[in-house]
Amino acid sequence: MPKIVDPDDRRADLAAAAARLIATVGLDNVRLKDVAAEAGWTTGALTHYFPDKRSLLVMAMTTSLDQLQGRKETAVGADGDEFRWLLEQALPLDEERIRHWRVTLTLIVQSWSDPELNEIKLKAFRRWRRRIVTLLAEGQKSGRFLPDLDPEETADETIAVVDGVATLAVFDPDRWPAERQLAFLDRHLARISC
């Protein structure tokens, strides 16, 4: 009896393999046959689900962003500080998040000339920003954050800190180990907290 394959699972496997390769060898060096081999599939199986490299890139970007977003939304850290925990999840503190940032930075460049990738990127960013604005406003009401903060402006500042630190950490990991990334995040949080 033939093996039943879930097409969504197979697409996810292939997209994850593409993300791993993009993160290690760069987008220009990723070939469909290499992605198939990385996933343990044949090139024919890959092209059944993704007819070309671009469709695979769209799925890789979507999957990488969805995985990080899912990680941000699943469980709050042990201390129950959802805001800090959410921001911490966006920093490249482990191999999974380093890979996410390498893939994201690579595909952001691609999105400049690709309207579909640009739309995927913008939707993910706007969802992330809305969550930060909401948590800042809730934190103001509870007395955690300074009462005169503008949640919209503070969200932009917070994202600039997190994205800036993350980009530096990916570019120069020796100067930006996890401890330093977290220290920058904590200093920013101290400036906006009561």
**pLDDT tens digits, residue range 102-122?**
988 988 888 899 898 899 889
CB under 8 Å to 69, separation ≥6 — which residues?
A: 124, 127, 128
- Mean pLDDT for 83-94 is 94
- Mean pLDDT for 5-13 is 83
Say which CATH number the domain at 24 has.
1.10.357.10
Q: State the pLDDT at residue 96.
A: 87
- At residue 68 the predicted structure's pLDDT band, cuts being 50, 70 and 90, is low
Q: How many CB atoms within 10 Å of residue 23? A: 23
Q: Enter the DSSP assignment of 81.
A: -
Assigned domain for 2 exists: no
Assigned domain for 60 exists: yes
Print the SS3 string covering 146-187. Answer: CCCCCHHHHHHHHHHHHHHHHHHHHHCCCCCCHHHHHHHHHH
- Mean pLDDT for 130-140 is 96
Domain total of the chain? 1
Q: Is 155 a residue whose pLDDT tops 70?
A: yes
Q: For the chain, what percent of residues have pLDDT higher than 70? A: 92
Is 145 in a helix, a strand, or coil?
A: strand
Q: How far apart are the first and last CA of the chain?
A: 65
Q: State the pLDDT at residue 53.
A: 87
Output phi, psi for 93, to 5 deg: -90, -15
User: What b-and-e string marks burial along 114-138, b requiring 16 or more CB atoms within 10 Å of the CB?
Assistant: beebeebbeebeeebeebbbebbbe
Q: State the pLDDT at residue 76.
A: 56
Range of the domain at 61: 7-192
Q: What is the pTM of this model?
A: 0.83
- For residue 120, give the H/E element and its range: helix 115-142
